[in-house]
Amino acid sequence: MTSCIFCKIAAGEIPSDQVYADQDFVAFRDLQPQAPVHVLVIPRRHVDALTEVTPGDADLLGRLQVTAAAVAAQLGLAATGYRFVVNCGRDGCQTVPHLHLHLLGGRPLGWPPG
């Protein structure tokens, strides 16, 4: 999608602090980090949000989490743990309409979330 900021980041048209990339996924540091490690993992293919996924996206969603777990390990979080967050829609506080997984770690994380 030409107007999507995360599509532009994935395409390299907008700079980012990239920590991982392959043919289907890109991971880069969040501009407004909420933890010592705060990385966004996105599919290159534009999907607005979890509300839009279909059973045909199951492989993409599974590989998104497998990729994010590998990125967490790459960044040294496997021993101490981490959290994945996928915000969806207004009540979920989604601000960028391109599906993305937040990888948060590097400190103890509170529960329940706000």
Binding residues for ligand DGP, per CB under 6 A? 5, 16, 28-32, 40, 87, 93-96
Using the minimum distance from each CB to ligand DGP, give the nearer residue, 56 or 112.
Answer: 112
CB of 79 to ligand DGP, least distance (A): 25
Q: How far is CA 23 from CA 26, 45, 62, 85, in A?
A: 8, 10, 15, 23
Task: Give ∠ CA 37-64-66 in degrees, rounded to 5.
Answer: 80
**What is the phi/psi pair of residue 62, to 5°?**
-65, -45
Residue nearest to ligand DGP (CB): 87
Joined together, the tokens standing for residue 100 give 């993305």
CB of 92 to ligand DGP, least distance (A): 7
What amino acid positions are annotated as catalytic residues? 100
Shortest distance in whole angstroms from residue 88 CB to ligand DGP: 8
